[in-house]
Chain A
Amino acid sequence: MAKKIKSKEDYYLASQWTLMFRKLKKHKLAKISLIILAILYIGALFADFLAPYGLDEFDGLYKDTAPTAIHWKFEDKNVGPHVYKIKKIIDKKTFEVKFEDDTTEYYPVKFFVHGTEYKILGVFKCDLHLFGIGEGSNGGTGAKIMLFGADTLGRDIFSRVLLGARISLTIPFASAIISFFLGIAIGSISGYFGGALDMVIQRIIEVIGAVPQIPLWMALSAAIPSGISTIKMYFYMTVILSFINWTGMARIVRGKFLSLKNEDYVMAARLSGVSTWKIIWKHMVPGFMSYLIVSMTLGIPGSIVGETSMSYLGLGIKSPATSWGVLLQEASTVTDVASHPHKLIPIIFVTITVLAYNFLGDGLRDAADPYK
């Protein structure tokens, strides 16, 4: 009984955020999505360590090869996980190039091996990788482990998916944050001051909303000068993606402002001489922050697809920088897909991320709704 009262008290005393978090925990799909997203982002953060190879490490022999098979038994003996080196065979009749496992010696899969040098979090130099290939049983070298196969230049797609995730996962996130602040700033001006300014801002929002997203993104990306550094390219893409997304946010903010600005507590603050910006940031924005976060989450999937599509077309991120869209360029014709289906693997990551953000957004929306 006492416990029940305690929990009831807890419920009434809990802040809005605590309540929201509790409801979110009950939403199974959202919880799973949150875990998946956490794994993906942590994976991207430690991509250098998790990936067995560097971004530009290539091996011409492995051009277009299918995912490397991992074997356990070598000549009927259990020797642990190992791979075989491949050898190129040319069919004498058709002159077709084929690859076969060279089973004369095996190469064990080892953990914590030394490989390409990189910097942990951009600071500490390190050359340790989670897994890699050791020396062959007869002392041979040159075998590779490519879990998702190789691309046309013989680069490991698994490593490139992990390293590309850094750009693909963070650009939409960063642009969501930019549009978040832009939306609050413009939406609050529009809602708080009203009048002619409001009218103009609303028309602008309407117009940007009416222009089809991807064509507008494409046209804006034409302004990115060629031959700039990866960081600049990253910055431009983020700005371009947020150019459209802020409008939805601004509309929510404005609607909320119109309904909140005549509330007593806002009036009280104004009478006490609180400055306009402080009223907006301290008194009004926290009142509908949860809606904004929901809208921000639900806006991310569109940006992910947008970035992927544009990079795929060569209008967004370009080599040597890598994003999932750049990786998918390898699968741009039917022949590619027919002969090297493993090149479609990056799409699984795009799909999972988009779904996870959608489900998380749905869960957040339900959690933020006080009537549910």
Chain B
Amino acid sequence: MEENTIISESGATAETKSSVPGSTGGFFRSFWGAIVDFFKKDLVRYIVRRVLMFIPTLILISILVFFVIQLPPGDYVSAHIAQLATEGELVDADYAAQMREDYGLDLPVWQQYLKWVKDIVWTPTDSTYYRLYHSHHNWKFSFAYGRDVWSVIKDRLGLTILVSAVIMIFQYVVSIPIAVYASTHQYSPGDYISAVIGFIGTAIPNFIFAIILMYLSYKWTGNANVGLFSQEMLQNGVHLYNFGEFLKRMIIPIIVIGTSGTCGIIRSVRAQMLDETARQYTLTARAKGVSERKIVMKYCFRAAMNPTVSGLGGVLSSLFSGSTVTAMVLNMQIQGPVLYKALQSQDMYLAGAIVMVQAVLVVIGILLSDIALAFLDPRIRYSGGNR
């Protein structure tokens, strides 16, 4: 309730100041005024500023990724042609020259970068690339897969996001109640047990944890549950009747990838809760006879949620990080194994694109969490979000 009044108040003050001078007529004036008012609202201004800050971040990510792509010694096209030659394929000089031009290899590095970005954003209709793939976004050619980089990424992007989202929801659903319990029962056996389990989750590298669970699953159920889909699902697709099987195959990834992040969330929420319970207002509420349950849920918990929401981007980043190696061991159909295959064959444009897509997803996560935080906490809007 309080938030709404703040917004409308600021809106009202803005209206009095910003009414456009002149006599252009009633409708246009009120329309223009409404737009100006809209952008004068703190929340909207904050969101616009955050979205604008997304652009330089995006540019920096692309520079970082291009740096990574350029790192391996030797140039990409010569390596590819050498590889083709060892496989016994004849490469004609025209093809090589055309590729060199497509990758801009004869240009200085910064022009190569600009060309790379330009090709991704827009490839003209008369280019060879467009004639081949009918796409305006040239992400270059993946040697490891023998097709366009973007088509390789697109294949698994949806599933990667889905799996990450499911695991993320699991992490929050599990860790927040545990953290609240641990903070209200500080130094109790439950507190210690949660700390130990969380620590072990972080201390055992994901890939070994996955193998051990696969082994246990094999021992107890006779099925190692490798991969996200069964043979039958790959043939017939995922439907309602075999969705249970899909969920069953999600258990190990959720446990393996989920536990490593859960520990971090538990620790930060617990610390936040403890900070809040030590505050003056908690004491006041208690002195006034507010029930303990209400103090925890209505006062401390809400305040403790803010840093948790703002940590969402970091959680997403560590989730991608954790799922990469785990996916290789569990043979999951997400981006991790593709990245591995790309790196093994030095297919740097594919590898770089995957890193870039993941980083952009994380930045979008940060953006969303910042906006969510602005809704939750009015102070953020006023301070301008210069955190």
* A interface residues, Cβ below 8 angstroms from B: 203-204, 206-216, 218-223, 225, 301, 305, 308-309, 312-315, 328, 331-334, 337-338, 344, 347, 350-351, 354-355, 358
Q: Is A344 touching B325 in the complex (CB atoms < 8 A)?
A: no
A-B contact pairs, 14 of them (CB 8 A): A210-B362, A211-B64, A211-B359, A212-B318, A212-B324, A215-B320, A215-B336, A221-B343, A223-B71, A334-B224, A337-B212, A350-B204, A355-B199, A358-B203
User: A208-B64, A219-B68, A334-B211 given as contacts; is B204 within 8 A of A351 (CB)?
Assistant: yes
Distance in angstroms between the alpha carbons of A309 and B325 in the assembled complex: 7
CA distance A26 to B276 in the complex (A): 27
Q: Restricting to B323-340, which residues have a CB under 8 Å from any CB of A?
A: 324-325, 328-329, 336, 339-340
The range of chain B's interface size is 35 or more
- Contact across chains for A219 and B343 when beta carbons are under 8 A apart: yes
| Contact A207/B57 with A212-B324, A333-B211 known, Cβ cut-off 8 Å | yes
Considering residues A308, A328, A351, which has the most beta carbons from chain B within 10 angstroms of its beta carbon? Answer: A351
Q: A212-B355, A215-B358, A313-B340 are in contact. List 10 more A-B contacts (CB 8 A).
A: A210-B61, A210-B362, A215-B324, A216-B68, A219-B339, A225-B73, A312-B205, A334-B214, A344-B208, A350-B204
- A299 vs B68: C-alpha distance when bound (angstroms): 23
Taking a contact as CB atoms under 8 Å apart, the answer to whether B313 and A328 are in contact is: no
Contacts of B203 in A (CB 8 A): 301, 350-351, 354-355, 358
Q: Would you give the shortest CB distance from A372 to chain B, in whole angstroms?
A: 12
Query: A218-B343, A344-B212 in contact; A358/B358 too (CB < 8 A)?
Result: no
Chain A residues near B215: list those with CB within 8 A.
Answer: 334, 337-338
Interfacial chain A residues near B358, Cβ < 8 Å: 211-212, 215
Interface residues in chain B, defined as those with a beta carbon under 8 Å from any beta carbon in chain A: 56-57, 60-61, 64, 68, 71-73, 199-200, 202-208, 211-212, 214-215, 218-219, 224, 226, 313-314, 317-318, 320-322, 324-325, 328-329, 336, 339-340, 343-344, 346, 348, 351-352, 354-355, 358-359, 362-363, 366
How near does chain A come to B195, taking the closest CB pair, in angstroms?
10
User: Are A223 and B72 in contact, with the CB atoms below 8 A?
Assistant: yes
Closest 4 A/B residue pairs (Cβ): A223-B71, A212-B320, A354-B203, A212-B321
B351 touches which of A222, A225, A312 (Cβ 8 Å): A222
- B346: chain A residues at CB < 8 Å are 222
B325 touches A222 (CB 8 A): no
Contact B202 A301 (CB under 8 A): yes
Complex: A208 Cα to B57 Cα, angstroms: 10
Q: Which of B68, B219, B224, B314 has the most CB of A within 10 A?
A: B68
> Closest approach, in angstroms, between the C-beta of A41 and any C-beta of chain B?
18
Q: Which of A207, A218, A225, A309 contacts B64 (CB 8 A)?
A: A207
> Given A222-B343, A350-B205, A355-B203, does the pair A211, B61 have CB atoms closer than 8 Å?
yes
- B321 contacts A215, CB within 8 Å? yes
Which single residue of chain B is at the shortest CB-CB distance from A214? B321
Query: Which residues in A have their C-beta under 8 angstroms from that of B219?
Result: 338
Q: Which of A207, A209, A215, A354 contacts B354 (CB 8 A)?
A: A215
CB-CB < 8 A to B57: which residues of A? 203, 206-207, 210
Q: Nearest-CB distance from A171 to chain B (Å)?
A: 15
By the criterion CB–CB under 8 Å, are B61 and A207 in contact?
yes
Give bound CA distance, A328 to B56, whole Å: 41
Interface majority SS on A: helix, strand, loop or mixed? helix
Q: Which residue of A lies closest to B366 (CB)?
A: A210
Cβ-closest chain A residue relative to B69? A219
A211 to B363, CA, bound (A): 9
Q: Nearest chain B CB to A336's CB is how many angstroms away?
A: 8
A333: B residues at CB distance < 8 A: 211
* CB-based nearest A residue for B351: A219
Chain B residues with CB under 8 A of A213:
317-318, 321
- Complex Cα distance, B60 from A203, in Å, reads 8
CB-CB under 8 A from A351, the residues of chain B are 200, 203-204
- Nearest CB of chain B from residue A218's CB, rounded to whole Å: 6
* B199: min CB distance to chain A, Å: 6
Evaluate contact between A210 and B313: CB separation under 8 angstroms: yes
Q: Which residues of the partner chain B approach A331 to less than 8 Å between Cβ atoms?
A: 208, 211
B352 surroundings in chain A (CB, below 8 A): 219
Contact B205 A207 (CB under 8 A): no
Residues of A within 8 Å of B343, CB to CB, are: 218-219, 221-222, 315
Which chain B positions have C-beta within 8 A of A223?
Answer: 68, 71-73
Chain A residues near B212: list those with CB within 8 A: 337, 344
A360 to chain B, nearest CB (A): 13
B200 with A214: CB separation less than 8 A: no
* CB-defined contacts of B207 to chain A, threshold 8 Å: 309, 312, 328
**Contacting residues, chain A, for B313 (C-beta < 8 A):** 210
Bound together, the chains give a CA A308 to CA B320 distance in angstroms of 17
| Chain A residues in 8 Å Cβ range of B205 | 305, 308-309, 312, 347, 350
Give the chain A neighbours of B339 by CB distance below 8 A.
Answer: 215, 218-219
B224 to chain A, nearest CB (A): 5
Q: How far is the CA of A337 from the CA of B219 in the complex (A)?
A: 11
Nearest-Cβ distance from residue B336 to partner chain A, whole angstroms? 8
B201 CB, min distance to chain A CBs, angstroms = 11
A215-B354, A331-B208, A338-B215 known; A222 vs B71 contact (CB < 8 Å): yes
Known: A309-B207, A347-B205, A355-B203. A215 touches B355 (CB 8 A): yes
Task: Write out the residue numbers on chain A whose beta carbons fall within 8 Å of the beta carbon of B214.
Answer: 334
Residues of chain B lying within 8 A (CB to CB) of residue A218 = 324, 339-340, 343, 351
Residues of chain A within 8 A (CB-CB) of B340 are: 218, 313
C-alpha gap A305/B366 in the complex (Å): 25
Q: How far is the CB of B151 from chain A (nearest CB, A)?
A: 20
* In contact, B355 and A216 (Cβ under 8 angstroms): yes
Whether B208 and A347, one on each chain, are in contact in the complex, defined by CB atoms closer than 8 angstroms, is: yes
> How near does chain A come to B350, taking the closest CB pair, in angstroms?
10
